[in-house]
Structure formats: structure tokens, C-alpha cells
Amino acid sequence: MNFVFVPGVNHGGWCWYPVGRRVRAAGHAAYALTLPGLAMGDDPTGLRLADAVDHIVHEVERRDLRDVVLVGHSFAGVPITGAVPRIADRLAHLAFFSAFIPRRNESMAQALGPETAAWIRATVDSSPDGTVPLDFATLSGRLMQDEPEALQRLVFDLLTPQPGGYILDALDVDGLATHGLPITYLLAERDIALAAPGVELAARLGVEPIMVPGTHEAMLTHPDELAEALLKHTVGG
């Protein structure tokens, strides 16, 4: 199988490397994508959600990948949802880890509530390159709560401001269940960062969540357990 990993807001493909290495050790191929604007040196100005969707599609097609297990974390549930209709014939399984599952025409910002959405819009409008940074207090208090501060600061130093269009734009596509692909939703036991309860998000896909230890950043703190659960529920081990 070909595992294609997509990161969440402010993250690059690096966040999936520990899990990807374990997937490769199990005999599969693994590719960790970094969405446009989120690599060091990228220009994020003017990027929209469509650019993230296009990048996922392009990378799968450019590599001519088949039997793909498409895996998304957090915000990545949005561009994955947009990419699936265009590459469905190349996909074998969809997997989400503590990921947002969008409703039709609902942006990530809208899902976070009107107050947060207004803050995101104001931040984007006031930013020279239209990005949204993640502050250390949010990372340490909501994404990696109770983890060692040294690890929190290491992860924080790897983050990149998020192109605002990615979280302000919405998708107008059918739900993933219409494509007939098997779907797995993995949920971190201590995740407090999601826009809605993980059980509710999994229910939008018609599945029950598979629980794994850790916080929203469990792919970095618990890669063994996450990789094991991912392999078990997508390819049978």
C-alpha cells in the first residue's frame, strides 16, 4: 500500500515522519506531504483552499500512486475531502487522525465559532502575507497539554504560519461516504483541540472512532501506537 500523509494547520510533512517510518518498516510506502506555503521559504501570499486540494491531487498523480491510503490530521480533513472526488480511483482507504470533517460549504474558521472566525479573519487581513500564526500558549495548552515543555518548544519551533485562505474557504463537494471507500477515524484520547467532539466528527463519516493514546499531536508523542492502529484498521496489520 501507498500511505500518503497530509498535515494539519501550521505543520509540514515532518510531523508525520515518525509514523511514516513505522509504516515503511511494516513493508508499505509512505509519503508525507507539505502543503503549499508551509515549507520554510515558501511564499504563502494569496494561497486558497483550492491550492491545498490541488497539491494533494497533483502529488498522487505525479507519483502515479495506486492503492493509496490517504491519511489526514486535524485541518487536513478539509483538503482531503476536496481531493477524494478527483482521485477516488487511486484510493484504497481513507484515514483521519483527530481530523476535522467539514460540512458542505462550511469553512474551518466557521466551524470554530463566530468569535474565533472573526479573529482569524482579522488576523489574516492584518497580516502582510495573509497568514495565521500559532502561539506557544495554544500549542502547549490545547495541542500538547501535559507534555514536556522541551518537546512542546521543539515542535513550536517547527511550525509555520498558516495561509489564511486554507481555513477561511469552504468546500462545495459531496460527503465522503458517497464514494464507497472504506473509512477509518482515529481519535486521540486526550485531544481537546478539535472544532467539534471527535465522536461527532467520526459520525459524519458513518463510523465509530478508534481511540489511541495521546493529545492532538500524538503522531509525534505516540507514533508506535498510532502507526499500529493505522495499519491494523487500514491494511489489517
Q: Residue 172 sits in which domain range?
A: 2-234
* HEC profile of 18-32: HHHHHHHHCCCEEEE
Q: Is 128 exposed, middle or buried (0-12, 13-18, 19+ CB in 10 A)?
A: exposed
Residue 160's pLDDT is 98
How far lies 56's CA from each of 97, 128, 157, in Å? 17, 26, 25
Residue 179 has pLDDT above 90, yes or no: no
Residue 96's pLDDT is 98
Residue 135 in contact with residue 155, Cβ under 8 Å?
A: no
Residue 35's pLDDT is 99
pLDDT class for 178, splitting at 50, 70, 90? low
How far lies 42's CA from each of 36, 37, 165, 206, in Å? 7, 5, 15, 37
CA 75/CA 86 separation, integer angstroms:
19
Q: For residue range 184-202, list pLDDT tens digits in order.
A: 999 999 999 998 899 999 9
> Which CATH number covers residue 122?
3.40.50.1820
Q: CB within 8 A of 168, min separation 6: which ones?
A: 49, 107, 108, 109, 120, 121, 124
Residue 7's pLDDT is 99
Q: How many CB atoms sit inside 10 A of residue 40's CB?
A: 8
CA 119/CA 114 separation, integer angstroms:
9
Q: Provide the domain count of the chain.
A: 1
Residue 237's pLDDT is 59
Residue type, 70: L
Q: β-strands 91-97, 183-188: how paired? A: parallel
Residue 173 has pLDDT above 90, yes or no: no
pTM: 0.96
The percentage of the chain sitting over the pLDDT mark of 70, rounded to a whole number, equals 99
**What does the mean pLDDT of the chain come to?**
96
Q: For residue range 4-45, list pLDDT tens digits in order.
A: 999 999 999 999 999 999 999 999 999 999 999 999 999 999
92 or 178, which is more confident?
92
Q: For residue range 85-104, list pLDDT tens digits in order.
A: 999 999 999 999 999 999 99
pLDDT class for 211, splitting at 50, 70, 90? very high
